[in-house]
Structure 1
Amino acid sequence: MSAYLDELQALLREGGVPADQIEATIADLASYVAETGGDPEEEFGPVGEFAGRLLAARAPEADATDATEWRWTADIFTDRRMLARLGDQGWEIDRVDHLGRFVSHRDPERPQRWEYRRELSIGGSALAARLAPEGWEPCGTWVYYRYFKRPRAASVGPAAQLDSPPAAPGRSVFFSRRFYLVLAVAVLAVVVSAILWEPSDGDEPGFLAGMAVGGVLAIAALAAVWLWTARRRP
């Protein structure tokens, strides 16, 4: 590891950053520098200033015993809109669980606004390293998307503080009409293909072939939706 990253590690430790977060940050930055072949100081700026930006972008530590955890989910058509809305209400995303739900909490003592961005999960650690200088840190991965967060204070300063945050929404599932439409089309493709491919004598292989074709059509439809949404992302 370079002297630059050694010094950055020491500065983050002095700033009170947990050891596991320091280790992950330094590993991402080291990987990025190794891939680009650039000089760390040219990539990130003077080490003292860079450490200051990283420390300033960190959220006030929430007391895990007092913070209110809330799990919710949204489809790919609404996730960014819901992240923006709920982040503005002080909900911080901790991770995405194995069911695809956003695991979030809000500091009951010092709630503040958060902002999020969604990126295609390509580039590995280089993506996180590229976004780190702007205060973005990973907060979850689901299928082919990676999610990043940063406190709104990084862009608006003290205005990010929330004086009276609203209550948590009464529901935890936010699916759009387009999601249900795509789901209906996928199911219909499987059913119709199974019917059309079933021989008149009810031969089982024909039925299974129809199911297979329907499954392929459904996957193709979902892939088309993925490509469309990926091309429309900001």
Structure 2
Amino acid sequence: MTTQNTPSAPYMRDGYLIDLAERLRARGLPADRVETTVTDLAAHLEESGAEDAEAEFGPADEFAAQLVPDTGVRAPGAADRPDATVETWRWTADTYVDEKLLNRFGDEGWEVERVDAIGRFVSHRDLAQPQRWEYRRELVTRGREGLDERLAPDGWEACGTWVIYAWFKRPRAASLGPGARVESPPPVPERSRFFSRKFYVLLAVLALAVAVAGVSAAVGDGDASSGLGLVVGMFAGAGTVVGLAWALQMWRGRRP
């Protein structure tokens, strides 16, 4: 059931928001997303005390184009097609900095389409109307039953999963209005890998533990060249450190 037949909707008293809702539907935005978006805008107007919605958000047709560029829901794989109006970028980061960087690049207009098989964020940016995005990460070690439904009312949409994490995105246009448009987007970053010092320290600790365990096992075997002792030691050391690293990542991924 669409909001057009729901007179109790809080925005039905505002002609601008009614017009905006119709334009969003015409651009292909699903009815539930229209309801959520326009209701959030109505709440913003009420909280801010703004009396003129058009002065706050701009003309309804232009604002609808900012909220839903072109055709509402982007076709699958659109970010991978060569297109003069869209630029793409694949990048990766460790879990110490990924959420921070996602929001940083989201402010530059980068929208994550998905996370590929090797953990890279497949991102694209609309060159004609770049918009700001925000992101959050959730731990999904026990499955994601109900997670999408719990976050959807606040506008969050799943944009990728890898190992024990899921990432969600939402456009900032609903809260920032015209300010969500990136007027002068910076160029595509030259780097594609972003690893923190903590990540490199973790790798160094892992390598050291494996080396120490391997040497200890070989010496304990009575033969420094014993391949069996070295291999057993390496596996023992690696298993211990990997277990600790996994526990650390699990702890870091928890949200209050």
- Give the TM-score normalised by the residue count of structure 2: 0.68
Paired position in structure 1 for 2:98: 79
Instruction: Give unpaired runs (5+ residues) of structure 2.
Output: 6-21, 39-63
In the alignment, the residues of structure 2 paired with residue 167 and residue 159 of structure 1 have an alpha-carbon distance, to the nearest angstrom, of 20
Paired position in structure 2 for 1:222: 245
Query: Quick check: which has more Rg, 1 or 2?
Result: 2
In the alignment, the residues of structure 2 paired with residue 54 and residue 131 of structure 1 have an alpha-carbon distance, to the nearest angstrom, of 14
Q: Superposed, which structure 2 residues align to 1:16-31 within 5 Å? A: 16-17=27-28
For structure 1, which segment, 118-127 or 59-68, has the greater mean C-alpha deviation from structure 2 after superposition? 59-68
- What is the SS of the residue equivalent to 2:146? helix
Shift of 1:93: 0.3
Change (3 A) 1:139 1:120: same
Is 1:73–1:101's contact at 8 Å kept on the other side of the alignment?
A: yes
Shift of 1:50: 6.1
Match 1:139 to one of 151, 156, 159? 159
Aligned residues: 197
- What is the SS of the residue equivalent to 2:112? strand
Is 1:186–1:221's contact at 8 Å kept on the other side of the alignment?
A: no
For structure 1, which segment, 51-60 or 66-75, has the greater mean C-alpha deviation from structure 2 after superposition? 51-60
In the alignment, the residues of structure 2 paired with residue 59 and residue 112 of structure 1 have an alpha-carbon distance, to the nearest angstrom, of 10
In the alignment, the residues of structure 2 paired with residue 139 and residue 147 of structure 1 have an alpha-carbon distance, to the nearest angstrom, of 6
In the alignment, the residues of structure 2 paired with residue 204 and residue 68 of structure 1 have an alpha-carbon distance, to the nearest angstrom, of 51
Cα deviation code 1:2-46 (max 9, x no counterpart): x89xx9xxx9x965548xxx7xxxxxxxxxxxxxxxxxxxxxxxx
- 1:205 is the counterpart of 2:224: no
Shift of 1:88: 0.3
Change (3 A) 1:49 1:228: closer
- 1:173 is the counterpart of 2:193: yes
Residue identity matched to 2:233: G
Is 2:37–2:174's contact at 8 Å kept on the other side of the alignment?
A: no
- 1:185 is the counterpart of 2:168: no
Shift of 1:124: 2.0
- Give the TM-score normalised by the residue count of structure 1: 0.74
Percent identity of equivalent pairs: 47
Match 1:108 to one of 124, 127, 137? 127
Change (3 A) 1:184 1:130: same
Change (3 A) 1:191 1:104: same
Paired position in structure 2 for 1:30: none
Is 1:117–1:147's contact at 8 Å kept on the other side of the alignment?
A: yes
Instruction: Give unpaired runs (5+ residues) of structure 1.
Output: 23-47
The RMSD of aligned alpha carbons is 2.9
Q: Superposed, which structure 2 residues align to 1:46-57 within 5 Å? A: 51-53=34-36
In the alignment, the residues of structure 2 paired with residue 166 and residue 223 of structure 1 have an alpha-carbon distance, to the nearest angstrom, of 36
- What is the SS of the residue equivalent to 1:118? strand
Shift of 1:228: 3.3
Is 2:67–2:173's contact at 8 Å kept on the other side of the alignment?
A: no
In the alignment, the residues of structure 2 paired with residue 181 and residue 171 of structure 1 have an alpha-carbon distance, to the nearest angstrom, of 21
Residue identity matched to 2:167: Y
